[in-house]
Chains A and B, each alone.
Chain A
Amino acid sequence: MAFVQNLPFISIILSLFSGPLSSILSGKWAKRLNLAVITLIGAFSVLVLTFVLQTGEPFVYFMGHFPAPWGNEIRVGVLEAFMAVFFCVIMLLSMIGGSREREIEIEESKQNLYYIMVDLLLCSLLALIYTNDLFTAYVFVEINTISACGLIMIKQNGRTIEAATRYMIMSLLGSGMLLLGICFLYDLTGHLLMSNIKEQVQILAVTGQYHTPLFIALGLMAIGLAIKSALFPFHAWLPDAYGYSTVSSAAILSSLVSKGYIFLLVKIFYRVIGFNVVCDSKVINVLFVFGIIGMLMGSISAIKEKDIRRMIAFSSVAQIGYIYMGFGLGTEAAVVASVYHILSHAATKSLLFVAASGLTDASDGSGKFYDLTGAGYRNKIAGIAFTVGSLSMVGIPMFSGFISKLLFSQAAMGHDMKMLPTLIALAISTVLNAVYFMKTVITIYMPATGKVNMREGRVIPIKEQPVKAIALIFFIVLNILLGLSSEPVVNLIRIGLEMFD
């Protein structure tokens, strides 16, 4: 066994133990430890990715060397390793981009607690990506929820505590359904390892035995994870949670936490149930319908918003809708588009949150559009970054959002029932996106002269916040990179999905 094969497990353990270690460190050292751990794990994941690409086949790591039906396993293919790299990059940039806000908004004595939460979050995300065991996945889903709740409520005011409570309630409903679904599957198949369950499910699908319970289990797991990742009717907690928490939390929650659950759902589709069985079920139609409604309703709510952070939060609802619509189409190409959109949305949304915090800084801390007038001149780099993010969300060529829309529409082509609704929804949603994002871009580049009652903003030169500027530049580069060289990324996703079988 090559040494590289140990790295996924080492990454999980490393982030898990850096959490408790942070509790005895000061805020400053906890931050350093956290950044070092994320960077190190990112580097490890790059090594794992190159290793898997070289060998061309996935590898399985037995925990404690117990063989298949008894032991717990970690399984690493191209897509898993790539996701780990990507999540580390986004997390690192979000942490760097929001470091100034964290120091202002979080009490001195609680600084190190924040890093415990981030370390645990990274650990649970890695475990969700790598694990081959359904019950382990459930446990780490709960750890993910708890640490995400901590990220929301670390900034202590009434709003965030209420948002955290609402988040917990919806999440617990979701995990209850997920757990019940897993128990049903265990009851039907007698296994907890994904590969073993899949063998049994394929047999059940061929013989037609236990047809109804199987689909109830699939439905429970899909809807449970959809609730947790804020698919349309279950999104009530989201705007408050993203809108009032500190900026790194908002960026991490929107781009990583919800994506972790969605990635687990992709794994359940491919590795646990088998994609052919999923496509035959009615569950994907439900996801399709709610995805499309979410695309439209999320954007409409965003148009009505008066606060920039809450507007970006509502836009997340619409983007999550895109991803579920892709699952709903039920073809290989559509899932590739959905996974690409996970990447594209993660890169863009964290960029937008960090850029928006730069803009509000230049407007005396207010996020209202009226006060933001001309903020793009006062904080130049944040203005440029916000414009790039907006263009990408709307789907202008050259940026990542365009590629995902292109992939979605290509995937919808030739689909007899779902082609028209998909294309129409994509078109309307693009127009709606343009309405609120372009409105914001125009506002921040409007000269602020002649406005009455506007809050007094101040000019923030790049020298004052060099760290945030660097994070924003990296975000912009990442976005354009995803947009211009989408070909290798899409190929990687395709190879990764094939490796799932």
Chain B
Amino acid sequence: MDFANLLHNYPGAVAMVLFGIGFSNLLLQKNLIKKIIGLNIMDTAVYLFLALKGYIDGRKAPVVVDGVQSVEAYINPIPSGLVLTGIVVSVSVTALMLSLTIRLYHRYHTLDLDEISAQLKKEDK
């Protein structure tokens, strides 16, 4: 393994570690709100990764100001566009998850998914 490369690309490594944290929180947490926080960390990690890949050292955000139109002046705009699209998607699924959580909380007065399953089993009997 070439650790020099890893150190050089440390922002990418940070993005992956964040992705892992978010992923495992979404998968393993019992509390629904913590799960949603995990989801947001996971999505944000992907956006960080994307933004990182579109960034070119010493260039500016792709918004034409002062009439500078040279391609050399700006960073790659596509990843930024993807991040914006991704944020829209992430906001809508977060909203949906939160509304589901509110519904469940009103019914079962707990945020613990396992507890809710246990109560459901009781209802059946």
Contacts and interface: CB of A to CB of B under 8 A. Distances in A.
A161 B107 contact: yes
Interface string A110-149: 0000000000000000000000000100110010011001
B46 interface: yes
A162 B23 contact: no
A46 interface: no
Contact of B100 (A142, A161, A183): A161
Interface string A264-295: 00000000000000000000000000000000
Interface string A173-214: 100110110010011000010000000000000000000000
B89 interface: yes
B104 A161 contact: yes
A305 to B, nearest CB: 14
Interface residues of A, number: 27
Interface string B84-112: 01100100110011001101100110000
Given A139-B89, A169-B35, A176 B46 contact: yes
B101 A165 contact: yes
Contact of B104 (A162, A172, A176, A186): A162
Interface string A464-493: 000000000000000000000000000000
Contacts of B101: 165
A64 interface: no
A138 B82 CA distance: 11
A169 B78 CA distance: 29
Interface in B1-60: 19, 22-23, 26-27, 32, 35, 39, 42-43, 46, 49-50, 53
B103 A161 contact: yes
Contact of A172 (B93, B107, B117): B93
B85 A165 contact: no
Interface of A: 135, 138-139, 142, 145-146, 149, 153, 158-159, 161-162, 164-166, 168-169, 172-173, 176-177, 179-180, 183, 186-187, 192
